[in-house]
Amino acid sequence: MPLPYDYVEVLHTKRDRFATEAAWQFFTDQACEHRVLPDGRCDIILRFRSNRTEPLGVITPLVTGAATRFHIVPIAAGTGYIGIRLRPGAAGKVLGIDLRAIVNRGLTGDAAILKIPALKNLCAPVSSIDTLRSRLNTFIDDHTRDLTIDELTAALMDTLHITGGRLPVADMAVLHCVDVRTVHRRIVAATGLTPKQMAMVIQFHRALRLRFDERLDIASTAFEAGYSDQAHMSRIFRSMGGISPARTPDLVLAGLPI
């Protein structure tokens, strides 16, 4: 799928950095809109006016929660962003909040600092974007120093991905020898979303890749992704992405890592 020009993303493996899945940045000289697809992840974002080498003026923190539907984000000309995508299981620890409170919404500026006061330190004036990136990395390191990896949560998240979001929650519970309520609690704590919501996001992303990256026809995509029929898949594409499976979408930020 087409990503916006000037959007750069570096993926992190679990071995690189457990707490984060990706570091990204984006600059634009022209006003534009981004269609941000739901990815079930939380991001910490710093927004600023920029000449592409240094932040100019105020640095605004944004925290975005896991989403179940797309968002259209208007962006002013001359804006720069750097962001960190937090790994499920680490996001709650880094942010220190209940992730359910930010599902399908974001916290911006003072609202973000009110909820997460440590973000204020990220927004002090800085001479370069590289220094700001280092500051953001240090913030993550400082907030994950005592992070212990919850193996069950990590395994449940892996299963959601491996199965393309197609395995019923009850089957996931059996697979991991835990009860359904445990699956529910762990996934909600890690993402803010219920297991079913998270599975739908992953299923949607797989369908997107099958349809637009692999160029599978619509019927084959719906079948392989596990939708009951083409109409079902079309409804999901509309509600989660605001797009049609019949037409390659305009620039999107898909976000979901592999």
Partner 1 sequence: MKLGYSIIYVTDVLATVAFYEQAFGLRRRFIHESNLYAEMDTGDTLLAFAGEPMAEMNGLAIRPNRNTELAAGFEIALITDDPRSAYATAVAAGASAIKPPTEKPWGQVVGYVRDLNGCLVEICSPMGG
Cβ-defined contacts of 193-199 (< 8 Å, 24+): 193/40, 193/66, 193/68, 193/103, 195/156, 195/160, 195/169, 196/169, 197/40, 197/68, 198/40, 198/66, 198/160, 198/165, 199/160, 199/165, 199/166, 199/167, 199/169
Interaction between residue 209 and partner 1 (CB under 8 A): yes
Tokens of 75: 């962006």
C-beta of 126 vs 210, nearer to partner 1: 210
CA 97 from chain centre, in angstroms, equals: 17
C-beta of 11 vs 56, nearer to partner 1: 11
Point out which span in 61-69, 83-91, 156-164, 229-237 binds partner 1 (CB under 8 A). 156-164
Count the neighbouring beta carbons within 10 Å of the beta carbon of residue 143: 19
Interaction between residue 175 and partner 1 (CB under 8 A): yes
Interaction between residue 169 and partner 1 (CB under 8 A): no
Interaction between residue 163 and partner 1 (CB under 8 A): yes
| Residue choice 63, 206, 222, 237 for contact with partner 1 (CB under 8 A) | 206
Interaction between residue 255 and partner 1 (CB under 8 A): no
Tell me how far, at minimum, the Cβ of 159 lies from partner 1, in Å.
6
Cα distance between residue 35 and residue 118, in whole Å: 29
Ramachandran area for residue 152 (φ above 0: left; ψ -120 to 50: alpha; else beta): alpha
| CA-based nearest residue to 253, from 24, 92, 50 | 24
Residues in the interface with partner 1 (CB under 8 A) total 21
Cα distance between residue 201 and residue 197, in whole Å: 6
Three-state secondary structure call for residue 249? coil
Tell me how far, at minimum, the Cβ of 15 lies from partner 1, in Å.
10
Interaction between residue 83 and partner 1 (CB under 8 A): no
Interaction between residue 84 and partner 1 (CB under 8 A): no
Interaction between residue 258 and partner 1 (CB under 8 A): yes
Interaction between residue 12 and partner 1 (CB under 8 A): no
Point out which span in 83-91, 123-131, 157-165, 183-191 binds partner 1 (CB under 8 A). 157-165
Please report, as ranges, the residues that interact with partner 1 according to CB under 8 A. Answer: 158-159, 161-167, 174-175, 177, 206, 209-210, 213-214, 224-226, 258
